[in-house]
Amino acid sequence: MEKLSEIAAYLKGKGARFADAREHLFHEREIMTEDNRVEQITEQDISGTGIKVLYNNGWGYACTSAGDMDSLRGAADKALALAKYADRSAEVPVELAAEPRHTAKFATKIKEDPFAVKAGDAVGALLEAAGVMLKGKDIIKAVSSLVLRNMRKKYANTEGSAIETDIFTILPEIEATARANDEVKTRHYLPAPMNAGYEYFRGIDFKANAARIAEQAREHCFARSCESGPATLVLDPEHLSLTMHESVGHPTELDRVLGYEESCAGRSFATMDKLNNFRYGSELVNLVADNTLEGGLASIGYDDEGVECRKWHIVKAGILTGYGVNRELAHKMKMSRANGTTRATKYSDVPITRMPNLYLAPGKKPLSKEQLIADTENGIYIEGRGSFSIDQMRLNMQFGGDAFWEIKNGKLTGMLKNVVYNAISYQFWRGCDAIADESEFCRAGFITCGKGDPMQAAQMTHGASPARFRNIMVRRAK
Ligand SMILES: [Zn+2]
């Protein structure tokens, strides 16, 4: 930490308005099995230091994989030179929101270090799950995987902050593929990805879920196609994780809203003139950003601008009320502080505004998933994620799913196939007329959310209770 603080002081002495140095270790192990064999085990350790400088109104960024003082000073000089160069053509004055000085440590609460456990332990559990799936009738492939991450950072800036973080992430997944009735269908089981220790992985019931998804993959092969037309949908938390990610999370990143970031379906309909007056969803819809959520994939304590992570509403009682905001854009919102959403994936990446943990708050009235379905006369119940697309303003969207059931007179009457639905983002959320209570709340999440040029893959948690959406245009995909 001393070296990083020294670099920040060095840059301040050279006239930088603001500078920070971030030592960043990214350690990842990925284990994948296919059928009864190990398909691959990969391990990567990527470490180095990124240095960011604001000189007058120009930003510069440079990095080095070497940790000695000469290399760090060399990278600092490079970042400063780039900032001076950028300043010559800077057209907009940079106003950085204040942030208190933090001297802090933050770590994921773990009992068992995942990287201290031999890869063979996880291989055993994954192959066991595969064995159960392969016993299923007409199963032709069983894939199991586990991604483990450890991200360790030290951060120091010219404001005197000195922050250390140590984050552990676990993402397990299994899938079964069946071939029958001239169809091939794959069904997934994704336990919630968590920032947690290996004890979390040990607690997952793969066996029961392996048998279930193998059976459902086969059943899907015999399902009948859905009818096209307006329908009522009941969506499970894992499915909703993708819809909220694409139609709420990305369009409320303020850099996209203001046109600073346009890659990957890049801009946003949720413009600032709509703040606090635009009906994004029905009155039941509360979408909460929370980077303090224990075990959340974006719960990192402090972000890569030295800002303490926090919780706020993106949508409150259906109205657009907030964005993900970095220190440079906070003044546009008349916010005195940013909300802790700026992250870089690796040391060589420039920190950018990233989606926070984002969840749909559960309904306040007691309502189980079974009661929600029983209360739905006709509709389609969808679990899991399938293919999706969304336009560049994040308005016109289309989603599939992993498995679909017909609801008739309040009962699930059999699986459907080839279901996709289209909607305009806010019309979809306005159609929400029931959300199950918190006893049904489940988490899901992503570790490969792409943004930026060059692309960075970030991670965040989502969550929801099953919810019902009225008058959504369903189409038969085949
Ligand atoms: Zn994303």
Closest CA to 142 of 238, 202, 214: 214
Give the CA dihedral 306, 308, 310, 314, nearest 10 degrees.
-20
Give the distance (Å) from ligand 1 centre to CA of residue 460. Answer: 9
Distance, CA of 14 to chain centre: 38
Distance 234 CA to ligand 1 centre (A): 23
Report CA(249)–ligand 1 centroid distance (Å): 8
Tell me, in angstroms, the distance from the centre of ligand 1 to residue 450's CA: 5
Q: Which is nearest to 351 in space by CA: 306, 288, 316, 391?
A: 306
pLDDT at 265: 72
Q: What is the pLDDT of residues 285-329, one digit of tens each?
A: 999 999 999 999 999 999 999 999 999 999 999 999 999 999 999
Residue 298, SS3 per DSSP: coil
Q: Which residues contact 367 (CB under 8 A, 6 or more apart)?
A: 434, 435, 436, 437, 440
Rounded to the nearest angstrom, the distance between the alpha carbon of 469 and the centre of ligand 1 is 23
pTM comes to: 0.96
Distance 58 CA to ligand 1 centre (A): 28
State how far the Cα of 218 lies from the Cα of 225, in Å rounded to an integer.
15
CA 410/CA 432 separation, integer angstroms = 18
pLDDT given for residue 29 in this prediction: 97
3-class DSSP assignment, residue 4: helix
Q: How far apart are CA 440 and CA 465, in angstroms?
A: 5
Domain ranges within the chain, ordered by starting residue: 2-222, 225-476
Q: Based on the number of CB atoms within 10 Å of its own CB, is 332 exposed (0-12), middle (13-18) or buried (19 or more)?
A: middle
Using DSSP, state whether 389 is helix, strand or coil.
strand
- Return the closest-CA partner of residue 250 out of 383, 389, 348: 389
Predicted pLDDT at 99: 97
* d(CA 245, ligand 1 centre) in Å: 6
Distance from residue 265's CA to the centre of ligand 1 (Å): 10
> Separation of 346 CA from ligand 1 center, angstroms?
17
On the CB side of 401, CA atoms within 13 Å amount to: 29
Q: Could you tell me which residues are beta bridge partners of residue 59? A: 54
Closest CA to 173 of 130, 215, 141: 130
- Under CATH, what is the fold of the domain 2-222? PmbA/TldD fold (3.30.2290)
Predicted confidence at residue 342, as pLDDT, reads 98
Distance CA 386, CA 235 (A): 13
**How big, in percent rounded to 5, are the helix, strand and coil portions of the chain?**
25, 40, 35
The pLDDT of residue 266? 81
* Predicted local distance difference test score (pLDDT) of residue 300: 97
**Ranges of residues in the chain whose predicted pLDDT is under 70:** none
Query: What pLDDT is attached to residue 310?
Result: 96
- CA atoms within 13 A of residue 94's CA, in its CB half-sphere: 20
How many whole angstroms from 294 Cα to the centroid of ligand 1?
21
How far is Cα 172 from Cα 101, in angstroms, rounded to an integer? Answer: 37
Cα–Cα dist 276/214, whole Å = 46
> How far is Cα 474 from Cα 404, in angstroms, rounded to an integer?
12
- What is the DSSP-derived secondary structure letter of residue 302? B
Give the distance (Å) from ligand 1 centre to CA of residue 449: 4
pLDDT digit string (tens) for 188-243?
A: 999 999 999 999 999 999 999 999 999 999 999 999 999 999 999 999 999 999 99
- Tokens, residue 381: 């119940």
| pLDDT at position 264 | 78
Cα 69 to ligand 1 centroid, rounded to whole Å: 36
Which residues on adjacent β-strands are paired with residue 475? Answer: 420
Neighbours of ion ligand 1 (CB under 5 A): 449
Residue 345 Cα to ligand 1 midpoint, Å, equals: 13
How many angstroms is it from 118 CA to the middle of ligand 1?
A: 32
Type of residue at 396? N
